[in-house]
Amino acid sequence: MFSNQEDQSIYNALKARLEGNLDHFVSELQTIRAGRANPRLLDKIMVDYYGTLTPLTQMANISAPDPRTITISLWDISMLREVLKAIQTSDLGLNPSDDGKVIRLYVPAPTEERRIELVKMSKKFAEDCKINMRNARREALDEFKDLKKKSLITEDDLEIAEKEVQKILNSYTDNVDKTLAQKEKDIMEV
């Protein structure tokens, strides 16, 4: 199947790129609220920390003590107001409460309409991931076509490579579909 070292490196680069796309997709899905409190919901929250936008995750301990609550324990209590403001202006739709030391976020079960919206958002992330994966396939096939032009591989080798690249892509897109199906199930669960 692999006629030379160059073929192997193209396959390895393709797999690495597809793996990176899949990992990014999974991390995007983790930021979508599925009705349960998840500290990863706050991964994209940026706070104005003395003039520098800083991820909230780098400023506090964030935990989910129960399925409906997220607690945020800031390392610098003077940033409490800034953190509250950043959470309120985010697209999470959560209202923080604080006791002067700890911020609490109550995560209500999303409405039916909101769950449908979250499923649509998940599907968009999946489609973006698949587009990036198809681009990776195209680039790998272009590399094999270049090898063919340089007469380093035969027409038969090119055909085998095209089938192998498609097989690799199919296995990763299947993983995207399975991950999306699980996330949809989690979101629609009441």
Name the band, by pLDDT with cuts 50, 70 and 90, for residue 3: low
- 164: its two tokens: 């192998």
- Neighbour-count burial for 95-120, b at 16+ CB within 10 Å, e otherwise: ebeeeeeebebebeebeeeebeebbe
The tens digit of pLDDT for each residue in 33-88 reads: 666 778 888 888 899 888 889 999 999 999 988 888 999 999 989 989 999 999 88
What global pTM score does this model have? 0.72
31: its two tokens: 């930021």
Do 22 and 32 contact (CB within 8 A), yes or no? no
Contacts (Cβ under 8 Å, ≥6 apart) of 131:
none
Q: Which of 135, 133, 125 shows the shortest CA–CA distance to 173?
A: 133
For 39-106, the fitting CATH number among 3.30.1360.40, 3.10.20.740, 3.40.50.2300, 3.20.20.70 is: 3.30.1360.40
CATH-assigned architecture of domain 5-31+111-188: Orthogonal Bundle (1.10)
Q: What residue segments make up the domains of the chain, in order of their start?
A: 5-31+111-188, 39-106
